[in-house]
Amino acid sequence: MKKIIILFLIFTNHLIFSQKSKDQIIDSLNIELNHTKEDTVKVKILNQLSALNSFKNADLGLNYAKKALILSNALNYNKGIAYSYNNFSIYYWLKTDFPRALNYAYKALKIHEEENDKKGIASANNSLGIIYIEYKNYKLALKFYTKALKVSKEINDTKSTATYLNNIGDVYLRQKNYSKALYYFEQAIKTNTFRKDSFESGLNYTNIGITYNFLKQYKKSIEAINKSVLIYKNDSSLYNGFNKLEFGKSYYYLALNEKNQAKKDQLLQKSLDYVNESMHIFKREKSLIDIKDAYLYLSKIKKEQGKHHEALDYFEKSTHLNDSIFSSENSTQINLLESQREIELRDKKIEIQNLKIKNDSRKVYLLVTITIAVGVLLGLFFWLYLSKRRTNVQLEEKNKTISNINKQKDKFFSIIAHDLRGPFNGFLGLTELLAEDLNTMTSEEIQFAAASMKNSAANLNRLLENLLEWSRMEQGLIPFAPQQNKLKSVVDECIITLKDAADKKEIKINENIDNKTIVFADNNILHAVIRNILSNAIKFTPKGGTIAIQGKEDNKKTTISITDSGIGMNSKMVDNLFRLDVQTNRKGTNDEPSTGLGLILCREFIEKHSGKIWVESEEGKGTTFYFSFPKALQ
């Protein structure tokens, strides 16, 4: 939902109108295109038509952008080329081909910077921010949004400034930093003061209402959404659908807190009416993710009204849609990975071809120079021998690189096929059991099945997060900003995160780290490494065991060790621990699942810092993981 609400403004260059007015503008532009004789004006019109048609008919929008690019190239009109690339980026973003969208956005930004086109620079930076949102790289998204905001303020473009403030608020909303999200949405409203009845202001009020619902301030949410509704009036588009759903949520939660039964029933009925109105709009617009959310809240409302059969029916509909959306999102992520691998393979083949061309040109040069002199001929033959040997070495290295890329890709999909199949089969078995035997099952059996399903879902989620994190590392999409961190504080935060898991197994975690110990590393990566290794220690330590964490610092590096009293490993397992081509996964002491992918991520994270990781272990006597970070990047 947020993609539609938050990001729609940007790619249309703020050309937001009713469908009728948009069609009128398209008609007038086509008339102007047929009558104008100035080629640069034609380019501008073609790019405007591309932007206006992008969301209505993406292929038609792409066709206009191609015409604008051809004419711009013929005129050597760089500004027109840049805006054509902007429109190409829109098209591929809409088609979820994010690598190509990113490529065209960067091309557009480069030309805008060369032309010193401030408005274009701001727009391209904002487009990059939107695309990095798709990769969930919020740090880079904020970086580009902030650049766009800075430039728009420099040129006093208040409309764009309000939009960029809104988009920054969206990033903080996705990160669950609600106070910052609210601040930027309110700043967008203030910037839009002179246009308080504009579409953008209505959008800002909707976002403020969403944020207040997350903050559990339901009356403030209703107040903000009411302002948005006044702006949209009787508009029956998705935007009022979002408003009605937020109304439904607010009244539902107010009902939960109401002790007077009569008032509670009124609030629940009001919530039900609003959610049903939103469902009508969502079904008409075929917005599956919003239909899923509406079904979920219909289930909750019916449950509170005591209509359990209807509640279960709506819940099943929501779950079915959620599974479809989940599969679709996974397919998109896998397509992104395949696309990235294909690009890498293509680039390597181009390099090899260039090397072959270069080698052939040297041979031609040699044949020409043979006629000059015998002495020069002997020298050239010797030079060719050395050159060819170097070229062959390079060709061999490139072929090895291509082979490794293919092996990694095959292994990656092998992991998906092997490690997802088992948990999914278990999960499906439980759902079939509930669907077929629910009426004959005792409450204890139902509770056991539900707990097992929850654990399976959690395990699947962790596995998918590890797989996607690994793929992002392979593509170089993870931000990297090493800094000085107090090791004790980081370790304490990681222990708190995993305290529940340790307490369940009655495992005692002992920490021996001086308050002054400093480690130079990226904060997010450092947390991820310590959490991953500590989680493994808990997983493979039996009930009542102990874990010791130590940190030592010298002039060159900081070394951290995590020692457990667990089941340990034999020498063969230790040797294969960090290899992707060897299966090392095994179950924990309480049958906790494991893929071994987490340790491979840890090794790549640590080596990214020029650090080292090693293991000492003896079967039945526990394991110690050591990892070190240098004082500065080497």
For the segment 145-161, what is each residue's pLDDT rounded down to a tens digit? 999 999 999 999 888 89
**Distance (Å, rounded) from C-alpha 566 to C-alpha 545?**
7
pLDDT of residue 164 exceeding 70: yes
Return the biggest CA–CA distance within the chain. 109
- 111-115, 152-156, 450-454, 471-475: range with lowest mean pLDDT: 471-475
Tokens 């397509």 -> residue: 335
pLDDT single digits (tens) 220-272: 999 998 888 888 776 666 777 888 899 999 999 999 998 999 999 999 999 99
Q: What is the per-residue pLDDT for 7?
A: 40
Stated pTM of the model: 0.51
CA 330 to chain CA mean position, Å: 12
Whether 122 and 151 have beta carbons less than 8 Å apart is answered as: yes
Q: What b/e readout covers 386-413, taking b as 16+ CB neighbours within 10 angstroms?
A: ebeeeeeeeeeeeeeebeebeebbeebe
In 554-593 the beta strands, taken as DSSP E runs, fall at 557-564
DSSP string, 436-483: HHGGGS-HHHHHHHHHHHHHHHHHHHHHHHHHHHHHHHHHT-S---EE
Q: What are the C-alpha distances in Å from 141 to residues 109, 128, 130, 359, 380?
A: 15, 7, 7, 43, 54
- Provide the phi-psi class of 117: left if phi over 0, else alpha when psi is between -120 and 50, else beta: beta
Q: What is the per-residue pLDDT for 67?
A: 93
Tokens 């399976």 -> residue: 456
Tokens 């529940």 -> residue: 500
**Distance (Å, rounded) from C-alpha 240 to C-alpha 354?**
56
pLDDT of residue 144 exceeding 70: yes
Q: What is the per-residue pLDDT for 269?
A: 94
pLDDT of residue 63 exceeding 90: yes
- Partners of 582 in beta bridges: none
pLDDT of residue 400 exceeding 50: yes
**Percent of the chain whose pLDDT exceeds 70:** 79
- Partners of 521 in beta bridges: 483
What are the φ/ψ torsions at residue 627 (nearest 5 degrees)? -150, 140
3-state SS assignment for residue 631: coil
Residue type, 315: F
Give 582's DSSP letter.
S
**Distance (Å, rounded) from C-alpha 304 to C-alpha 298?**
10
- 57-61, 111-115, 483-487: range with lowest mean pLDDT: 57-61
Kindly state the average pLDDT of the residues 174-194.
87
pLDDT single digits (tens) 279-325: 998 888 787 888 888 899 999 999 999 999 998 998 988 888 876 66
3-state SS assignment for residue 95: coil
Kindly state the average pLDDT of the residues 406-431.
62
Total residues found in the chain within this entry: 634
Whether 206 and 246 have beta carbons less than 8 Å apart is answered as: yes
More confidently predicted of 464 and 218: 218
Whether 604 and 495 have beta carbons less than 8 Å apart is answered as: no
- 104-113, 208-217, 255-264, 348-357: range with lowest mean pLDDT: 348-357
- Long-range CB contacts for residues 265-271, cutoff 8 Å, separation at least 24: 265/305, 268/301, 268/304, 268/305, 271/247, 271/297, 271/301
